[in-house]
Amino acid sequence: MSYKSTILPGKDRMIILDLFTATTLLVFIILVTKQLFYNRWPGGFHIYPPGPPGHILVGNMLDVPAKKPWVHYANWAKIYGDIMHLEAFGDHLIIISNAMLANDILERRSRMYSGRPYPGVGELTGWNFALTLQDYSETWRKNRRTWQQNFRPDAVVQQHSAITQCVGIFLRNLLQTPENFMCHIDLLSGGLTLSSMYGITINSGNDDLLVHSKKTLHTIDTVFSPQFVFFTSWFSFLCFVPSWVPILGLFTQYIEHVRQLCHEMQEIPFHKVMADINTGAINDSLVARLVQKNMADGGPDEEIQRIKNMASTAFAASADTTLSAIGTFFLAMAKNPKCQERAWQEIDEVVGRGQLPTFEDRKSLPYIEALYREVMRWHPAIPLSVAHTATEDNIYDGYYIPKGSMVFANIWAMTHNEQVYEDPYQFKPERFLTTESELNDDSTILAFGFGRRGCVGRHFAEAVLWLTIASVLSCFKIESEKDLNGKAVDIPESYSEGPGLFSYPLPFRCSITPRHAEVGLLI
């Protein structure tokens, strides 16, 4: 048989090609349909939560916004509901926009939703020391236990002296150069952690340790973004390309750079503590006390590593969260003078002008407490939570949430829910008060997260933020600057848009002046 005789006639060949094309298309449709509607649940057909329609193969990958994703998700929630599903290249994202649902899923079912979706990225970049980013495991449980022992409410009381001292420095800096208040906030957040954790005193926002920690922290915005996680998952071979290889080696260079930053942030301040211990220098920091206790008890080396991990995590985590919350406080006061006046009245009646507020005054200052809660609600520092991971297949309210799904709590949507908070975009501390001016039962700070992955340093953070707010209000008047005609200059309510975990107010100008003549002597 000749070669030519094996070739089908043109008409028959077209039929075969059409049949092949149709079969391929049918298989493709079946695969896509299975991807969209079926799942790995044995023997069943289940429906994902509603969400925006995806594109073929890539799903919603092109729909995931890089800027202000919390706002986009909140708008989508008005269309698709408070529990929403997105899919990108087979990865499932669940967005929860209602606090009650988040509590039901992430608190009550925390056993199934305490994982993290990117432990491999942590190992790759050196960020695996951070408790917040570690996957749910025995190692995580041991590390969390160390945190709980040293950051529970009664343990934080031991840090009140260090907090008070650092807030005092912050007040003096404000008095001397009020125009640099954002720099002073940076110094407060980083300086307080360095002092309480390591016994290190810094006097400038340009201190090398503080600058280094901010550089390290900002790498989180890249290495834990959905795009980076996806990239390392699908193109993991790039992690092994030598750094000297043109173009492709740039990825390896960046990984090595991040690993070096993380290593130095852990080791440099810790070595300072060990040097003090070895030379007998006075160091009453938390790390020094824990290390000395472990050495005296003959404890294991792994406990030293846990102490180191805890301290470096606290050092990194305190920077942008404190900057955001206290920056938001200054912005709110400059734009809402009546709130400030009511706060002054309460402080003057309860504390007086002859002394600064103390932690013992907190229960007697309900309006200051309400103002603190409103700061945390109005513009949460982390508007979209760090992702939880479903550790097993689960059905919730008839919807299927497959194992491995990344579950996000949209804190922004929850704190701006019009059904819960009237006029949610307005700053109104009185929403947390009863008609008798007592605190109501809405005491949950949603920004601290949910379940077993909630912020374990929240009691320390609350103490720092509350005392800072109360002390600043006791001493200063914050208002908009005036133009040449004496009219208040409007301050834009502008915040960083992402990508990244944190949202903080963009630089703005305001007037900060002493409330009374005794402020200089008081601080």
What does the DSSP 8-state code read for residue 43? T
Annotated ligand binding at 166? The verdict is no
**DSSP track, 59-80:** BTTTTS-SS-HHHHHHHHHHHH
The alpha carbon of residue 402 and the mean position of all alpha carbons in its chain are separated, in whole angstroms, by: 25
* Neighbour count for residue 88 (Cβ, 10 Å): 20
Q: Are 59 and 86 in contact (CB under 8 A)?
A: yes
**DSSP track, 252-278:** HHHHHHHHHHHHHHHHHHHHHHHHHHH
Q: Are 408 and 96 in contact (CB under 8 A)?
A: yes
Look at the block and give the residue holding tokens 């006061």: 333
Distance CA 409, CA 399 (A): 17
Q: Are 523 and 175 in contact (CB under 8 A)?
A: yes
What does the DSSP 8-state code read for residue 394? E
Distance CA 441, CA 436 (A): 13
How many residues comprise the chain?
A: 523
Q: Are 319 and 217 in contact (CB under 8 A)?
A: yes
Phi, psi of 339 (to 5 degrees): -65, -40
Structure tokens that stand for 481 in this block: 């600057």
Distance CA 166, CA 504 (A): 22
Residue 409: burial class (beta carbons within 10 Å; 0-12, 13-18, 19+): buried
Q: Are 288 and 272 in contact (CB under 8 A)?
A: no
Q: What angle do CA 149, 188, 513 make, to 5 degrees?
A: 140
Q: Are 459 and 156 in contact (CB under 8 A)?
A: yes
Q: Are 317 and 189 in contact (CB under 8 A)?
A: no
Structure tokens that stand for 113 in this block: 């939703």
Q: Are 89 and 61 in contact (CB under 8 A)?
A: yes
Which segments are annotated as binding site for heme? Answer: 455
Q: Residues comprising the binding site? A: 455
